[in-house]
Amino acid sequence: MSRLFYQTRLARPELDRAEGIHMWDVTGKRYIDGSSGAMVSNIGHSNPRVLAAMHKQMERATFGYRLHFQTEASEALAERAAALAPEGLGRVFFVSGGSEAVESAMKLARQYALSRGEAQRYKVIARTPSYHGATLGALSVTGYAPMTAPFDPMMRPMPKVPAPRAYLDGLDAEDPATGLHYAAMLEARILEEGPETVLAFIVEPVGGASTGALVPPAEYMREIRKICDTYGVLLIHDEVMSGGGRTGRFFGAEHWDVAPDLICLSKGFGGGYVPLGAVIARDDMVETVLDHGGFIHGHTYAGNPLACAAGLAVLEEIDTQDLTGNAARMGDVLASRLRDLKQKYPVIGDVRGKGLLLAFELMRDRASKAPLPATLNAHSRLVEIAYENGLILYSRRTRGGLSGDHFLVCPPMIVNAEQVEEIVDLLDKSLARFVAELPA
Residue type, 215: V
Helix axis angle for 417-437 and 378-388, nearest 10°, is 120
* Nearest residue (CB) to ligand PLP, 57 versus 242: 242
Task: Check residue 164 for interaction with ligand PLP (CB under 6 A).
Answer: no
DSSP character string of 110-158: HHHHHHTT-TT--EEEEEES----SSHHHHHT---HHHHGGGGGGS-PP
What sections of 175-322 are H helices per DSSP? 176-193, 220-230, 283-291, 305-320
Q: What strands, in cross-sheet order, belong to the sheet with 394-397?
A: 348-354, 357-362, 405-409, 394-397
**8 A C-beta contact, residue 81 and residue 278:** yes
Per DSSP bridges, beta strands 234-238 and 198-203 are parallel
Q: Which residue among 32, 106, 163, 241 contacts ligand PLP (CB under 6 A)?
A: 241
x/- mask, ligand PLP, residues 90-129, rule CB under 6 A, reads -------xxx--x---------------------------
Residues 125-144 touching ligand PLP, rule: CB under 6 A, are 131-134
x/- mask, ligand PLP, residues 29-58, rule CB under 6 A, reads ---------x--------------------
Compute how many residues bind ligand PLP; rule: CB under 6 A. Answer: 16
CB of 104 to ligand PLP, least distance (A): 12
CB of 343 to ligand PLP, least distance (A): 30
Best CA proximity match to 166, nearest among 352, 345, 347, 338: 352
* Nearest residue (CB) to ligand PLP, 102 versus 382: 102
Best CA proximity match to 221, nearest among 252, 245, 194: 252
Residues 246-305 touching ligand PLP, rule: CB under 6 A, are 266
CB of 210 to ligand PLP, least distance (A): 7
x/- mask, ligand PLP, residues 59-78, rule CB under 6 A, reads --------------------
Instruction: Say which residues have a Cβ less than 8 Å from residue 163's Cβ, sequence separation at least 6.
Output: 127, 128, 129, 130, 143, 182, 207, 210, 211, 214, 401
Q: Which residue is nearest to ligand PLP (CB)?
A: 98
117: left (phi over 0), alpha (psi -120 to 50) or beta: left
CB of 248 to ligand PLP, least distance (A): 17
Look at the chain and count its residues. 440
Residue 280: C-alpha distances to residues 117, 283, 368 (Å): 23, 9, 42
* Nearest residue (CB) to ligand PLP, 77 versus 347: 77
**8 A C-beta contact, residue 318 and residue 51:** no
* Nearest residue (CB) to ligand PLP, 206 versus 348: 206
* Nearest residue (CB) to ligand PLP, 212 versus 376: 212
* Nearest residue (CB) to ligand PLP, 147 versus 185: 147
* Nearest residue (CB) to ligand PLP, 243 versus 331: 243
Best CA proximity match to 38, nearest among 213, 248, 241: 241
* Nearest residue (CB) to ligand PLP, 98 versus 248: 98
**8 A C-beta contact, residue 213 and residue 167:** no
* Nearest residue (CB) to ligand PLP, 251 versus 434: 251
CB of 16 to ligand PLP, least distance (A): 25
Residues 178-237 touching ligand PLP, rule: CB under 6 A, are 204, 208-209
* Nearest residue (CB) to ligand PLP, 105 versus 228: 105
CB of 267 to ligand PLP, least distance (A): 6
CB of 132 to ligand PLP, least distance (A): 5
Q: Is the peptide bond before 159 cis (omega within 30 degrees of 0)?
A: no
Q: Which residue among 54, 240, 307, 327 contacts ligand PLP (CB under 6 A)?
A: 240
* Nearest residue (CB) to ligand PLP, 114 versus 264: 264
CB of 208 to ligand PLP, least distance (A): 4
**8 A C-beta contact, residue 13 and residue 25:** yes
Best CA proximity match to 82, nearest among 72, 94, 90, 74: 90
* Nearest residue (CB) to ligand PLP, 307 versus 385: 307
Distance CA 163, CA 130 (A): 8
Distance CA 132, CA 203 (A): 9
Q: Please give the residue ranges that form the binding site for ligand PLP (CB under 6 A).
A: 38, 97-99, 102, 131-134, 204, 208-209, 238, 240-241, 266
